Amino acid sequence: MAYPFQLGLQDASSPIMEELMNFHDHTLMIVFLISSLVLYIITLMLTTKLTHTSTMDAQEVETIWTILPAVILILIALPSLRILYMMDEINNPALTVKTMGHQWYWSYEYTDYEDLCFDSYMIPTTDLKPGELRLLEVDNRVVLPMELPIRMLISSEDVLHSWAVPSLGLKTDAIPGRLNQATISSNRPGLFYGQCSEICGSNHSFMPIVLEMVPLKNFEDWSLSMI
């Protein structure tokens, strides 16, 4: 999860988030190079007294500054499209979980099990135990197996919500009457925190998400204890 005064992205815990962070660094380097070049040219034009009379009519220069931006856009677009298709694709999910947004809590249903469903509310500040995080802890965590592809079906029963877990590279809108899909796959066990990322009313800030990724054996023991 994020720490105070953090400037960068959260540590990646899924293959998708690793790809997103690589794409972020790739794009940021292109922006840095363009900015450096423009700053250098502006500085050069303001400081030098030398001029070239045929610069304004140079066809070669116009050709370069037309083609070069197109090449740069292609270098950005191709990795972006690749990641978009990776995020949409899911083959043979090991588990499907249906998530419903409400004002102002989340409800979860494990569709592969008969009676495994629960609501997840934020724990009030007065009820927090030592070490628990304010505005981020919930009474029922979403327990999922690690290193397996998991399909999340996300919708809403009232207004627009957004189910987001930054360290897993997840952010999917919960829209009434529409079922959106997201893919979860965690490389390691742990607790992953998120929040509703769509302004949904007065208590928008108070509907956190907590995923607990555990080994498959621990998940099976938990699911048996919940049924």
One digit per residue, the tens of pLDDT, for the chain of length 227 reads 778 888 888 888 899 999 999 999 999 999 999 999 999 989 988 888 776 666 666 778 788 888 999 999 999 999 999 999 888 878 889 999 999 999 999 999 999 998 899 999 999 999 999 988 999 999 999 999 999 999 999 999 999 999 999 999 999 999 999 999 999 999 999 999 999 999 988 889 899 999 999 999 999 999 998 87
- The yes/no answer on whether domain 13-86 falls in CATH 3.40.50.970 is no
Do 93-224 and 13-86 have the same topology in CATH? no
CB 185 within 8 A of CB 28: no
CATH of domain 93-224: 2.60.40.420
CB 150 within 8 A of CB 97: yes
Domain boundaries, the chain: 13-86, 93-224
Q: Note the pTM of the prediction, 2 decimals.
A: 0.84
Question: Which 3 state secondary structure label does DSSP give 147?
Answer: coil
In terms of Cβ atoms closer than 10 Å to its own Cβ (0-12, 13-18, 19+), residue 88 is exposed
